[in-house]
Amino acid sequence: MAWTRHVEFDCATGGEVWRDSTPEEHQALADRQAAYNAAVEADRARQAQDVALVTQEAAADPAFAALARLAGIRLPATGGAP
Amino acid sequence: MASTFEALLLAQVGYLMSNAVQPISKQTLAAPAATVTFPSIPQTFTSLLLIITAQSNGTNTNGYNQVSVAWNGIATGYNILATPSTMASGTVTATSANTLAAGQIGDAWNAHFASPGTGRIVAYFPNYTETSFRKIATSESFASDGGSVGRLGLYGTSNGSTAAISSLAITNSDASSFVAGSVFELIGVS
């Protein structure tokens, strides 16, 4: 489907206007979703990197691991438990 | 998660009980629509509430579609913080993202599982007419098949524009549509 319907409900007049999108508008909506997915994936990757850094630091330093646990960060069993 | 959600709901109920509320527009879709827009929003209230009960005709295998909002026709620069929880596992995943074309406010159950589910969203737009600060919306959302499968979430979105909000456009993801019978209600809070 290369188009979708769109509706406007005017708050001032109570009027209702329906219109069909152009193929370009429809493609823009699809592109918007791709951009959203990419942004979410980038954030997940950043979070995974943060977790890896904290885990690495905790493995090397029991005091850091203790602080991380106090902050509510879940560390793997190998994370240098105090 | 549940306590945070309940605290937010109670805060909103308390807020509503101590302030005057007035319906601005309540619309039930007569046909599927990919975008529902409320233009010409009156500038006479302090805050806005947007209440959505909707199902999507999308078919992605998640079982739900993201519902986003854009205001004043602005199609860039939205920041989001999304903390959805999956009902089956109880797992909460927090996500933040910037420079989006619209800000996510929740989810709508879609057509993948062919179940009669829906999505309910309550979004709050505080101080929408002032012109000194960026605009924000906070929301609670619950999309479910009506049984044990679903997605509960808290969402926040903002945009750097300081203009008063005079229109809201609610969009479904994947370029899919809200099905006929979906309800969109805009309420003014004094």
Residue pairs spanning A and B at CB distance below 8 A: 86
| B123-160 confidence digits (pLDDT tens) | 999 999 999 999 999 999 999 887 777 889 999 999 99
Residues linked to residue B140 through DSSP beta bridges, in sequence order: B122, B154
**pLDDT the model gives residue B167:** 97
Contacts of B98 (CB under 8 A, 6+ apart): A39, B77, B78, B79
Residues shown for chain B: 190
User: Mean pLDDT over residues A29-47, rounded?
Assistant: 85
Alpha helices in chain A (DSSP H): 23-60, 62-70
CA distance to partner chain B, nearest, from residue A76 (Å): 17
Q: Does B5 have pLDDT greater than 70? A: no
pLDDT number for residue B9 = 66
Chain B closest CA to A51's CA: distance in Å? 13
- A positions 9-28 inside 8 Å of B (CB): 9-14, 16, 18, 21, 26
Cβ of residue A32 closer than 8 Å to a chain B Cβ: yes
Q: Which of A3, A18, A43 would you mutate first to test chain B, the one with the most B CBs within 10 A?
A: A43
Helix axes A23-60, A62-70, angle to 10 degrees: 130
CA dihedral B66, B177, B143, B167 (to 10 degrees): 70
- Supply the pTM of this predicted model: 0.84
ipTM for the predicted complex comes to 0.84
Interface of B with A in 83-112 (CB under 8 A): 94-102, 104
Among positive and negative, which fits the CA dihedral B147, B150, B154, B157? negative
Q: How far is A14 from chain B (nearest CA, A)?
A: 8
Q: Do A4 and B173 lie within an 8 Å CB cutoff?
A: no
User: Would you place residue B4 in the very low, low, confident or very high pLDDT band (cuts 50, 70, 90)?
Assistant: low
